[in-house]
Structures are given as C-alpha cells and as structure tokens.
Amino acid sequence: MGGVKNNHENGSDQEVNFFERVYKVAKCIPYGRITSYGAIAKYLGAAKSARMVGWAMNASSKEEDVPAHRVVNRKGLLTGKHHFDGTNLMQQLLESEGIEVIDNQIQNFEKLFWDPMIEL
C-alpha cells in the first residue's frame, strides 16, 4: 500500500513528487535568508538534480507559499529573475527582506546562505 504509487502519471493525485519536496524545503527558508538549488537538491538526496529543483520552482509559480526568490544558484546570482513577473521583481523581494543585491549578485551570499542540511 503504500502511499507511493509509481503508476503512470496519476495526475489526479496531489503533487507528491519532486516538486512538493522542493516546495517544502523552500518554505522552510527563513526570512532574510537564501539558499542554492544544489543545496536543496542535495538535501532531497538528488544532488545531481539541481536543475530539477529549478524546474520545480518554475512550477511553483502556481504555489503561493514558495519563496522562489530566496533560491538562487550557487554563486548567489539571481539567475531565475527572468521567470518572475517583473524584470527585477526578484531583486526587489530580496532587498525587501534586507538582502543586498547588486548587479543580480547577492552580497554576503555565504553569510546569508541557508543550508537545509545543516539547519534542518
């Protein structure tokens, strides 16, 4: 029985997939903090699937509690800002949380970095 079903896309069931896990971790990101795709992927046991995390973020557009703006690449660069409604919406949100962003680059990235493997 198992809640896990590997049937061909059920579609009807809730999003019990990679995505939901990513959302869950992303929601755990504290205010004024940020993390990287690889860190989340690694926490999920799929360190090599960092891209999937980003892909999941793309789907998170329909999710309201997923602060995708707090997720950046390992360099602290706002690579996904183009996926937001506004051109610099992502940066605006981060600055709104007290994060300093210059030229799409988060300042004190290491200092503000939030590692789910350590924090969780």
Residues engaged in binding DNA (CB under 7 A): 17-19, 36-39, 46, 48-55, 57-61, 68-69, 71, 73-75, 79-80, 82-84
- 1 versus 85: smaller Cβ distance to DNA: 85
Shortest distance, CB of residue 87 to DNA, whole angstroms? 14
CB atoms within 10 A of CB 111: 8
Is residue 96 within 8 Å of residue 68, measured between CB atoms? no
Is residue 53 within 8 Å of residue 20, measured between CB atoms? no
CA 72 to centroid of chain Cα atoms: 7
Read off the amino acid at residue 60.
Answer: S
- 38 versus 116: smaller Cβ distance to DNA: 38
Shortest distance, CB of residue 16 to DNA, whole angstroms? 10
